[in-house]
Amino acid sequence: MKYFSTRGSAERVSAAEAIIRGLAPDGGLYVPDSFPEFALEDIAALVPLDYRARAARVMAPYLDEFGADEVEALCAAAYGANFDAPEIAPVRFTDENTGYLELWHGPTSAFKDMALQMLPRLLTASLKKRAVEKGVCILVATSGDTGKAALEGFADVPGTRIMVFYPRDGVSDVQRLQMVTQSGGNVGVCAVEGNFDDAQTGVKRIFSDAALAEELAARGWFLSSANSINWGRLLPQIAYYFSAYCDAVSVGIVKLGEKLNFCVPTGNFGNILAGWMAKRMGLPAGRFICASNANNVLTDFINTGVYDRRREFRLTTSPSMDILVSSNLERLLYYLTGSSESVAHWMRSLAETGVYDVGGETVRRLQGEFSAGCCDDAEAAEEIERVWSGFGCLIDTHTAVASRVLGEYRRVSGDATPAIVVSTASPYKFCDSVLAALGEDASAPGFELLGRLEAVTGTSAPAPLASLAGREPRFTACVAPEAMRRAVEDFVG
């Protein structure tokens, strides 16, 4: 299987090359030139397997240069004792129609681990296959969870360095403490004055800086990305949609072949896009419901076909979804239109004017498979309380947005198809908001509230979060967006 850029360069590259590069040279994103087909009997064969084996079967056809045995070994290493649930990605069913796919049992307590425990292994193996001798410096812009998951995945991986930029005022206390206390000799963490879009735009600018690339190459380094623009981030995420479907079949929520909807709390559109790709491969998924917080640019886009980022950026209690420029939408638009000219045109328009309109035909196709909804912080808080008091299931603020939007979708559309809410973070990452939602006192820094949330709910905090309190920060720098380039130069040294 080969990969090419959404913006139409004629060049076709291998999976290893796409993973090494991250972003295509023309600024586009790599997409596979076909989708491996899974017939119903192939999916039936996944049902009795464990998560590792399911993931290996789903991923292997995308990685021709890797043998099936090699992919199995990578999956076994990525999804093991580093997760605190033996099922890796368990589905918790709350009624005969609804389940929560818990993707936060990895080392950093957010769903980013599903991809970022895998990406460093894929990348290291890819570098070996291509006999690349330079070291790779990973740059990450994070809205909170990617940064920590990438640090944890790449810490002390030979031949790599990793630098993470986070928006100074845009992450939770626990998220910041997780990052600035990261151990490892090859890691760097830096705050940026501004919001996530400022950090992400800054990183994209550094990637397209030819002079900097040359300078780093002279010192033996090249830059790559661990954001979900990298194909190696997206691919591992396809697997858990298959796995959740298998679990729904196992418990009898659907019979093999029947449709299952997915409601996904969305920011950069990576998670939900991976689900849509699973559907293209033959998974009997029904509709994908795209859930947003008050930064509801995607809700408007799916409902109207107009993507308009010219609006106020809101800080919410679900900070990992505080995003106005959803990078991965570009991949979906490519598949919906098959036209790299259109995609390049829209992306140019977004960069230059802040808006684009995909027009009637494309929006009809989009609405054929996606629905969208949003809710504000108060509604998400009500949902945390409702799901806790109704089902004894404790969810975080991001998951709550999706859960609420699913309820609203069902009420308005009358669509009673069984559905999975994709649960993306441990509630313990957002203790203050979760405690407040339950009507409890939340007036202390987030990491001091872990014990209070444990006492109130009788659940326990993930061990890596519980050990955060009292740890000394290693990284305190904060720079303006214009100074990010300099920070990278200094870091690579």
Ligand X SMILES: *Cc1c(COP(=O)(O)O)cnc(C)c1O
In the bound state with ligand X, the residue whose beta carbon lies nearer, of 145 and 198, is 145
- Which residues have C-beta within 8 Å of that of residue 210, sequence separation ≥ 6? none
- Minimal distance, residue 424 CB to ligand X, in Å: 3
Strand order in the sheet with 221-225: 221-225, 135-141, 160-167, 187-192, 478-479
230 binds ligand X (CB under 6 A): no
Angle between helices 51-59 and 231-251 (to 10 degrees): 130
- Stretches 77-85, 93-101, 200-208, 266-274: which one binds ligand X (CB under 6 A)? 266-274
Residue 428, class by beta-carbon neighbours within 10 Å (0-12 exposed, 13-18 middle, 19+ buried)? buried
Q: Is 112 a catalytic residue?
A: yes
Among 46, 277, 285, 321, binds ligand X (CB under 6 A): 321
- Which residues have C-beta within 8 Å of that of residue 140, sequence separation ≥ 6? 146, 147, 150, 162, 163, 164, 165, 203, 225, 226, 227
403 binds ligand X (CB under 6 A): no
121 binds ligand X (CB under 6 A): no
- Minimal distance, residue 66 CB to ligand X, in Å: 24
In the bound state with ligand X, the residue whose beta carbon lies nearer, of 320 and 433, is 320
Among 186, 195, 268, 317, binds ligand X (CB under 6 A): 268
In the bound state with ligand X, the residue whose beta carbon lies nearer, of 106 and 492, is 106
The 3-state DSSP class for residue 186 equals coil
446 binds ligand X (CB under 6 A): no
320 binds ligand X (CB under 6 A): yes
106 binds ligand X (CB under 6 A): no
CB 101 within 8 A of CB 421: yes
Q: Residue 331, Cβ neighbours under 10 Å: how many?
A: 25
| Side chain identity at residue 441, one-letter code | D
292 binds ligand X (CB under 6 A): no
CB 161 within 8 A of CB 189: no
Read off the tokens for 235.
Answer: 């691919």
425 binds ligand X (CB under 6 A): yes
- Stretches 83-91, 106-114, 362-370, 466-474: which one binds ligand X (CB under 6 A)? 106-114
Binding-site size, ligand X (CB under 6 A): 17
- Minimal distance, residue 20 CB to ligand X, in Å: 22
236 binds ligand X (CB under 6 A): no
373 binds ligand X (CB under 6 A): no
- Minimal distance, residue 399 CB to ligand X, in Å: 8
145 binds ligand X (CB under 6 A): yes
108 binds ligand X (CB under 6 A): no
331 binds ligand X (CB under 6 A): no
**What Rg value do the Cα atoms of the chain yield, rounded?**
21
Report the C-alpha gap between 19 and 119 in whole angstroms: 8
In the bound state with ligand X, the residue whose beta carbon lies nearer, of 54 and 233, is 233
148 binds ligand X (CB under 6 A): no
340 binds ligand X (CB under 6 A): no
Candidate list 2, 112, 129, 204, residue with the active-site label = 112
Phi first, then psi, for residue 79 (nearest 5°) are -120, 80
- In the structure, how many helices (H) and strands (E) does the chain have? 22, 15
What is the number of residues in the chain? 493
- Minimal distance, residue 73 CB to ligand X, in Å: 26
In the bound state with ligand X, the residue whose beta carbon lies nearer, of 32 and 267, is 267
How far from 243 is each of 55, 142, 177, 222, 359, CA to CA, in Å? 8, 27, 32, 35, 35
110 binds ligand X (CB under 6 A): yes
Among 112, 161, 287, 309, binds ligand X (CB under 6 A): 112
Residue 1's Cα: distance from chain center in Å?
A: 23
Q: Which alpha helices (H) appear in 252-317, and where do they start and end?
A: 270-280, 297-304
Binding site for ligand X (CB under 6 A): 110-112, 145, 228, 265-271, 320-321, 398, 424-425
Q: Report the catalytic residues.
A: 112
